[in-house]
Amino acid sequence: MSSIVIIGAGSSGLAAAHTLLDAGHTVTIFEKSRGVGGRAATRNRAGFIYDYGANYIKPGAPDSVELITKRFYTPDLIDIQKPVWTFDGSQHIQEGDSTQNAEPKWSYRRGLTTLSRKMAKGLNIHLSTHVARIQQQANAWILYNDAGEVMGTFDRVLITIPANQAKFVYSALKDKGKVTRGWLGVGIRDISALPPGMAKTFNFTGTTGVLVEQIAPSSPVAGKIQTGDIIVGFNGQAVDDSNQLRNLVAAVATGFVLVDLESGRVRRLATLERVDPTIRMNDGKADPWGRFWAGTMGLDKRPGAGTLYCLEPDLAVRVELDQLTISNGLDWSADRQTMFYVDTPTQRVDRFHLGPSGLELRDRRPFASLAGLVRKPAPQHICMTTRTTGIRVVTRAGCPRAATAATARIPAR
Ligand SMILES: Cc1cc2nc3c(=O)[nH]c(=O)nc-3n(C[C@H](O)[C@H](O)[C@H](O)COP(=O)(O)OP(=O)(O)OC[C@H]3O[C@@H](n4cnc5c(N)ncnc54)[C@H](O)[C@@H]3O)c2cc1C
């Protein structure tokens, strides 16, 4: 008997859970969404029930038929007898594919999630739980959440996330023995790999590009792009497929680039000394001497993964601070003697004394603390309000989706 963890509570994860439990294993499921069913997803609006992912089930393998018609049978199950009509991107409604219409199909009066909800009953499922990292040890698999905390240790791990994401996870595990969130945070699929006609349902007539299928609430791009977006260019360069997009993002995420806002052209100025695909750039700002400072953070926000860099006017890159977690706000006092700095999890703004040339960070001390002032304080960006006595801090208000910003004036020490 093994302890098995399943990542994803879509139809595959749920069916696998029952099969494994039947065989005597213990099963834990982690699902990043608030509900089960994955891409078999039902919505209810203005009294209408609709499935916006999978629409119907076709009888497949005998085991699946048995699950649907016997073990998890509900009178809600309906045999679709009449032809399924389709509509395209130009709102044109027509009788669908005659071959498909001739085949038997099922749905549920209350939508396809009826089946998933029934299958989920009694299972050990942890909802709203995003797996950010998987690591293989000698005889076990360790799973971590977005905060870098251990979620559990298991004998076996079964990944039922969409195939394009699972492919990446599999290669990372094979090559490095671990996988870190990044492409688990955003699910993308090549337009060229979509079923015929599907791109048109997104009002898209092109043949290349990348469809955004899923975004984890904690993904760095949550709120900036949406599911259903089609990415055809990035920083002025054409994106034909997901590999190209990954390469372009990785290049910008680990260096300094100059963007010409009019033409959209991007010129790489410098690459970071420590290139790591699990690290990305975060807040940056120009100092009074004309240098540009920017810090990094781990995609999974793991402690100590960040570094603060300084880009000199001659394009040399210096490491200024190390062992940071989420490198954020920067500002300088008007007398150029002090630099203020935020590493978000510390919940503080710190101050450094500067040497005459604005470098040589010395004597780091807490300048102001947000702990206890705002609910879930997470200081991000800062700017001076007066010479050295006040600072305006922009915090993330704790809502993972909305990313609403609140400002707080905090007393200085
Ligand atoms: C628009 C559309 C129409 C479709 N129409 C049909 C149809 O008519 N008939 C049909 O049979 N099929 C259809 N399909 C395909 C069908 O929806 C999928 O094949 C099926 O739902 C896949 O189930 P799954 O469990 O393998 O994956 P999913 O349903 O994608 O489940 C994967 C689960 O993993 C979770 N997950 C992902 N990453 C993580 C993580 N890091 N940590 C924790 N959880 C995570 C996700 O939230 C998700 O719930 C359609 C798909 C789409 C998109």
Can you give the pLDDT at residue 3? 95
pLDDT attached to residue 69: 94
Rounded Cα distance between 250 and 279, Å, is 9
Q: Which two tokens stand for residue 268?
A: 């790489």
What distances in angstroms separate CA 27 from CA 116, 203, 331, one per listed residue?
A: 17, 41, 50
Topology (CATH) of 3-180? FAD/NAD(P)-binding domain (3.50.50)
Weakest-pLDDT range from 34-43, 106-115, 380-389: 380-389
Residue scoring higher pLDDT (149 or 291): 291
Ligand 1 binding pocket includes 347 (Cβ within 6 Å): no
Q: What is the mean pLDDT of residues 345-371?
A: 86
pLDDT confidence tier of residue 242, bands split at 50, 70 and 90: confident
Distance 202 CA to ligand 1 centre (A): 18
Ligand 1 centroid to Cα of residue 38, in Å, is 5
Residue 23 alpha carbon to ligand 1 centre in Å? 25
Query: Which pLDDT value is given to residue 324?
Result: 94
Per-range mean pLDDT, top range of 23-32, 172-181, 389-398:
23-32
Contact 11 CB / ligand 1 (< 6 Å): yes
Task: Indicate yes or no: pTM above 0.75.
Answer: no
Q: How far is the CA of 271 from the centre of ligand 1 (A)?
A: 37
Distance CA 244, CA 208 (A): 11
Question: What does pLDDT average to over the chain?
Answer: 80
Q: Give the Å distance between the CA of 162 and the centre of ligand 1.
A: 6
Which pLDDT tens digit goes with each residue over 59-77?
A: 889 999 999 999 999 999 9
Task: Answer whether residue 233 shows pLDDT above 90.
Answer: no
Per-residue confidence band for 184, with pLDDT thresholds at 50, 70 and 90 = very low
Q: Ligand 1 atom 35: the closest Cα is on which residue?
A: 8
Q: 244-282 pLDDT, tens per residue?
A: 776 666 556 667 777 655 555 566 677 776 556 678 888
Residue 391: name the closest of 383, 380, 379 by CA: 383
Specify the residue with its C-alpha closest to ligand 1, atom 31.
10
Mean pLDDT, range 309-332, rounded to an integer: 87
Using the predicted structure, report yes or no on whether residue 50 has a pLDDT greater than 80. Answer: yes
The runs of H, that is alpha helices, within 138-241 are 163-176
Q: Indicate the range of 148-162, 198-212, 347-361, 367-381 predicted with least confidence.
A: 367-381
Is the pLDDT confidence value at 43 over 70? yes
Q: For residue 141, how far is its CA from the centre of ligand 1 (angstroms)?
A: 24
Task: Give the residue, 53 or 258, on which the prediction is more confident.
Answer: 53
Q: Check residue 165 and give its pLDDT.
A: 77
> Residue 39: CB within 6 Å of ligand 1?
yes
Most ligand 1 atoms within 8 A of CB, residue of 33, 39, 68 to mutate: 39
Average pLDDT rounded to a whole number, residues 86-112: 89
Segment 79-96, tens digit of pLDDT: 999 999 988 777 789 988
134-147: pLDDT as tens digits = 888 878 888 887 66
Q: How many A from CA of 229 to the centre of ligand 1?
A: 17
Instruction: Check pocket membership of 14 for ligand 1, CB cut-off 6 A.
Output: no
Beta 292-298 vs 150-154: how paired, if at all?
Answer: unpaired
- Euclidean distance between CA atoms 268 and 297, whole angstroms: 20
CB atoms within 10 A of CB 17: 25
* Token pair listed for 379: 């200081």
Return the pLDDT at 159: 93
Write down the residue that tokens 């601070």 correspond to.
321
Ligand 1 center to 254 CA (angstroms): 32
Question: What is the atom index within ligand 1 of the atom nearest the CA of 14?
Answer: 25
Q: Tell me which of 146, 161, 214 to substitute to probe ligand 1's pocket, judged by most ligand atoms within 8 Å of the beta carbon.
A: 161
User: What region does 332 belong to: left with phi over 0, alpha with psi -120 to 50, or beta?
Assistant: beta
| Residue 239 contacts residue 210 (beta carbons within 8 Å) | yes
The pLDDT score that the predictor gives to residue 75 is 95
Architecture (CATH level 2) of domain 272-410: 6 Propeller (2.120)
What letter represents residue 301's amino acid?
K
- Mean pLDDT calculated for residue range 188-209: 80
Residues 6+ apart with CB under 8 A from 241: 190, 192, 208, 210
11-22 and 113-120 are packed helices; what angle lies between their axes, rounded to 10 degrees? 30
- The full set of domain ranges for the chain reads 3-180, 186-250, 272-410
CATH number for region 186-250: 2.30.42.10
pLDDT at 188: 74
